[in-house]
């Protein structure tokens, strides 16, 4: 099953809230469990906003979801099965998230152009 990005985000948002409520946790308690420190992270995720969300937050979320018996595929709308993730699936998911983040950073660096090299000798005037 393939979803448009906006549909996938909506599914993730809804299933994240479902996961939190199923655990009987407030946003602040849920944030603490995933290592976010503040419920602001959970509020943003449940609204579908990703700014300020770190890979550490996502790793904590995936670990907690796995402990509760939910797979990454479930959270992302790939399946409706409630199946724990294996350690290898979790590692693969985190590597994929890291790689995607790094690609976005590299694309932004390319768009910004080359950085001046502070160690280079100044060019002599002609």
Question: Exposed/middle/buried for 114, CB within 10 Å: 0-12, 13-18, 19+?
Answer: exposed
- For 23, the 3-state DSSP assignment is coil
Question: Is it the case that residue 4 has pLDDT exceeding 80?
Answer: no
- Its pTM stands at 0.53
Q: Report which of 122, 16, 110 is spatially closest to residue 68, judged by C-alpha positions.
A: 16
Give me the mean pLDDT over the 92-106 stretch.
80
Considering the domain delimited by 5-105, tell me its CATH architecture.
Answer: Orthogonal Bundle (1.10)
Q: Which tens digit of pLDDT belongs to each residue from 13-59?
A: 888 888 888 888 888 888 888 887 777 888 888 887 767 677 787 88
Please state, in angstroms and rounded to a whole number, the distance separating the CA atoms of residues 113 and 64.
40
Q: How many CB atoms lie within 10 A of CB 41?
A: 22
**Phi then psi dihedrals of residue 45, to 5 deg:** -65, -40
Question: Is it the case that residue 2 has pLDDT exceeding 70?
Answer: no
């Amino acid at each position: 099953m393939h979803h448009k990005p906006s549909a996938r985000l909506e599914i993730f948002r809804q299933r994240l809230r479902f996961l939190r409520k199923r655990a009987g946790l407030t946003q602040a308690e849920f944030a603490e469990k995933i290592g976010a420190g503040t419920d602001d992270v959970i509020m943003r995720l449940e609204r579908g906003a990703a700014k300020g969300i770190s890979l550490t937050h996502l790793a904590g979320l995936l670990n907690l979801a796995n402990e509760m018996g939910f797979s990454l595929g479930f959270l992302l709308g790939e399946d409706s099965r409630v199946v724990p993730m294996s350690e290898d699936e979790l590692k693969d998911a985190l590597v994929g998230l890291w790689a995607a983040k790094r690609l976005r950073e590299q694309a932004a660096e390319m768009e910004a152009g080359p950085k001046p090299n502070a160690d280079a000798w100044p060019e002599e005037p002609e």
